[in-house]
Amino acid sequence: MRNAVGAVQSVLVLGGTSEIGLAVARRLVKDRAQAIVLAARDPARAEPAAEELRALGAATVEVVRFDALDFDSHPAFVDEVFDGHGDIDLVLVAWGTLGDQERLARDRRAAVQEIQTNYTGAVSALIPIVERMRVQGHGTIVLLSSVAAERARKSNFVYGSSKAGLDGFAQGLGDSLEGSGVRVMVVRPGFVRTKMTEDLDPAPLSVGADAVAHAVADGLRRGSHTVWVPAQMRVVMSVLRHLPRPLFRRLDI
Amino acid sequence: MKPESRDAVAAALADPGERGVLARGLGRSYGDAAQNAGGRVLAMAGLDAVHSLDAEAATVTVDAGVSFATLSRLLPSRGLFVPVTPGTAHVTVGGAIAADIHGKNHHRDGSFCNHVVSFELLTPAGDRLTVEPCDDLFHATAGGMGLTGVVLSATVRLLRVESACMSVDRERAGDLDDVMARMTARDDQYRYSVAWIDCLARGKTLGRSVLIRGDHARAEQVAGGGPPAFGASHLSAPPWMPPGLLRRSTVRAFNEAYYRAAPRHETGRLEPLPSFFYPLDAVRNWNRIYGPSGFLQYQLVVPDGREDVLRMSLERLSRAGCPSLLAVFKRFGPQRTGMMSFPLKGWTLTLDVPAAVPGLGGLLDGLDELVAEAGGRVYLAKDSRLGPDALAAMYPRLREWRAAREQVDPRGVMRSDLARRVGLT
């Protein structure tokens, strides 16, 4: 059960090799989370992280196989995790890919795969997860969206539109779950310095994965619906969102 | 669901579903003791018949849904009063048994279940048992947080009083040593004793307090007419408060004013029962003053001889600038009932803390460790954040209680969020 200061006990991390996902998991374990399930496409790659979480004090850390693109495997996967662990207090949707925009804009297959990974796969996994959480009557779903979801830009609109889809799905889902005991928290980080972005020049207001973890913990304590990382991004994106198209188009962002 | 009869309660227990059943009184627990996510919660306050009141023997038999507010209207005019009462009248007798509540008179009279002659328990298997203090099930249910079944009714031994008034003494204590010395020296002369403590005072004034002690006024004390009766409350907290109103500066100012306004020493002031026992009940929705993020309550007890833990706790809270508006300090006497009852002979400290204080989780986790190491514990009825690791250290009879619960509820019909969170069952 989530307690009054937002600490949770059992966590499912979907995207068990995601740097941000693991930073959040570390933070939750420091805040006394006891049972962690890391779900990754390649379980072997999540093992070192599992070891680290055990060393931090998690009583049980399990690594399970999960493929975001294998949609039909999702219901059985969700049942297995929930049946095997009792209540899951928090599900973190942390996987995602950020492909090269130039390539994605021309390579139909690659673009579809990015959209299916970031958006369709999340929808496919979340529907059975929400079903189980409704039955247990409590739980928090944390989704890593992006500031890119707020307004798609010419420099990354395939990624941006996938996050916009995810973000919109999550907002509506959160509102539809009002009163069920299940909550949805949308996290919109700006530029996070991770391996996903190592080939890019850091944008202004860039942060590390730990800053996202800190913001997630803070959002859990406050019961927030939306978390911007860093917090100033909310203002920045609000301005950008309202810029007229001719102006926005000319910005080099 | 709101069961309208005992049969409806029995029907609910017979069909617990996947997530179990829990009885709920008036929902005044600060945490998740009366919640059952995904399962059924039985609102018992509707079953509130007073079956018999024996003024001669000073006992009353009531449904578990009867509230202390009802009892405190019914009893004083008959020269009787509830033997133990918490700081609000909006709790039920069933809830009082489940939490084995204590009051300002614990040092003298023990906890509520100490005065329960018997209760009728509907077990998860569907049996209606009359349970008495000689039964193990009595001590598993007293303080058992509702996890052994549903209490349907109880017979309670009452206190005889000569008036509907309290005779109250107030004095100021300059620091923690001072208030403990005053309590140790003279608490035995009063039935009721409690100290309001200024949690933001630091250094030399750490633990400065206003000590409030009293007894039921004798008939001759109120012969000249008592204080004006306590009318129905018209005060109400506004529906919305700006977040962050209760910050260190405002609470410090309030605490300073409260401390200065208290008399250095005053004796024999007559007060109506409700204003002495239930001051916060006079302000409807008082909890709203904490703003939208709310607050949590932390109540700890440490055994005699471990007063150092109290000092350390106060120092840490004071250093963290944790603005606790309502901090209460009291001595407990020996505890005789309940495997999972909270009180033990020693000192208890209760704090209201705004939940928005950053770093609160870590601060209170640290206090948990101090308290557990000292052989103390925190109060489950008020808890909203304890984890399973701390529970076993704090409640040495946990294993015995689990065995008793396993016997009465092998299928795990009775469930609660509290039980899930702290791993009670």
Average pLDDT rounded to a whole number, residues B108-117: 98
The reply to whether A180 touches chain B by the CB within 8 Å rule is: no
Say what the pLDDT of residue B238 is: 67
Is the pLDDT score of A113 beyond 60? yes
Is the pLDDT score of A15 beyond 70? yes
Angle at the Cα of B277 (from B271 to B281), degrees rounded to 5?
105
Average pLDDT rounded to a whole number, residues B86-109: 97
User: Each residue of B229-258: pLDDT tens digit?
Assistant: 555 455 676 666 666 666 777 878 888 888
The reply to whether A181 touches chain B by the CB within 8 Å rule is: yes
Is the pLDDT score of A253 beyond 90? no
Grade residue A66 by pLDDT with cuts at 50, 70 and 90: very high
What distance in Å separates the CA atoms of residue B102 and residue B152, rounded to the nearest whole number? 21
What DSSP character marks residue A174?
H
Say what the pLDDT of residue A203 is: 84
Is the pLDDT score of B85 beyond 70? yes
Say what the pLDDT of residue B309 is: 95
The reply to whether A136 touches chain B by the CB within 8 Å rule is: yes
Structure token pair of residue B398: 């946990």
Contact A188, A207 (CB under 8 A): no
For chain A, the farthest-separated pair of C-alpha atoms sits apart, in whole angstroms, at: 55
What distance in Å separates the CA atoms of residue A156 and residue A145, rounded to the nearest whole number? 14
- Cβ partners under 8 Å of residue A176, min gap 6: none
Say what the pLDDT of residue B330 is: 95
Contact B9, B150 (CB under 8 A): yes
Cis bond leading into B410, ω under 30°? no
**Which of B322, B352, B367, B420 has the highest number of chain A CBs within 10 A, making it the mutation to test binding with A?**
B420
Average pLDDT rounded to a whole number, residues A85-114: 94
Q: Give A3→chain B minimum CA distance, Å.
A: 5
How many helices and strands, by DSSP H and E, does chain B display? 13, 19
- Cβ partners under 8 Å of residue B398, min gap 6: B339, B340, B391, B392, B424
Q: Give B186→chain A minimum CA distance, Å.
A: 38
Listed range (A57-66, B163-172, B246-255) with the worst mean pLDDT: B246-255
Angle at the Cα of B283 (from B213 to B382), degrees rounded to 5?
70
Listed range (A94-103, A165-174, B394-403, B408-417) with the worst mean pLDDT: A94-103
A119 is catalytic: no
What distance in Å separates the CA atoms of residue A244 and residue A253, rounded to the nearest whole number? 15
Q: Cα dist. A29→A23, A37, A207 in Å?
A: 10, 12, 21
Grade residue A204 by pLDDT with cuts at 50, 70 and 90: confident
What distance in Å separates the CA atoms of residue B287 and residue B349, rounded to the nearest whole number? 19
Q: Alpha helix (H) ranges present in A32-73?
A: 43-56
What distance in Å separates the CA atoms of residue B94 and residue A226, rounded to the nearest whole number? 40
- Cβ partners under 8 Å of residue A28, min gap 6: A7, A8, A11, A36, A90, A217
Helices A43-56 and A19-30, axial angle in degrees (round to 10): 20
Say what the pLDDT of residue B380 is: 97
Phi, psi of B382 (to 5 degrees): -105, -10
Structure token pair of residue A205: 């207001």
What ipTM, to 2 d.p.? Answer: 0.88
The two beta strands, B346-354 and B21-24, are unpaired
Q: Which of A82, A159, A191, A228 is catalytic?
A: A159
Say what the pLDDT of residue B241 is: 65
Which chain B residue is nearest to residue A33, measuring alpha carbons? B387
The residues pairing with B161 across neighbouring beta strands, listed in sequence order, are none
The reply to whether A16 touches chain B by the CB within 8 Å rule is: no
Binary contact (B385, A137; C-beta < 8 A)? no
Q: Alpha helix (H) ranges present in B90-205?
A: 93-98, 106-109, 136-141, 176-186
Q: What is the mean pLDDT of chain B?
A: 91
The reply to whether A34 touches chain B by the CB within 8 Å rule is: yes
Say what the pLDDT of residue B235 is: 67
The reply to whether A179 touches chain B by the CB within 8 Å rule is: no
User: Each residue of B320-344: pLDDT tens digit?
Assistant: 877 777 789 999 999 999 999 999 9
Is the pLDDT score of B204 beyond 70? yes
Say what the pLDDT of residue B251 is: 79
Say what the pLDDT of residue B307 is: 94
Which chain B residue is nearest to residue A138, measuring alpha carbons? B37
Binary contact (A4, B385; C-beta < 8 A)? yes
CA nearest to B77, candidates B273, B215, B237, B241:
B273
What distance in Å separates the CA atoms of residue A211 and residue A229, rounded to the nearest whole number? 7
User: Each residue of A147-156: pLDDT tens digit?
Assistant: 999 999 999 9
Q: Alpha helix (H) ranges present in B306-359?
A: 307-319
Structure token pair of residue B95: 């809830």
Dihedral of alpha carbons B362, B365, B367, B370, sign: negative
Binary contact (B19, A32; C-beta < 8 A)? no
What distance in Å separates the CA atoms of residue B40 and residue B284, rounded to the nearest whole number? 28
Is the pLDDT score of A190 beyond 90? yes
Binary contact (A135, B420; C-beta < 8 A)? no
User: Each residue of B2-51: pLDDT tens digit?
Assistant: 999 999 999 999 999 999 999 999 999 989 999 999 999 999 999 999 99
Binary contact (A87, B420; C-beta < 8 A)? yes
Average pLDDT rounded to a whole number, residues B393-419: 97
- Cβ partners under 8 Å of residue B314, min gap 6: B176, B197, B199, B206, B207, B349
The two beta strands, B192-197 and B209-216, are antiparallel
Is the pLDDT score of B410 beyond 90? yes
Binary contact (A34, B387; C-beta < 8 A)? yes
Percent share of chain B, pLDDT over 70: 95
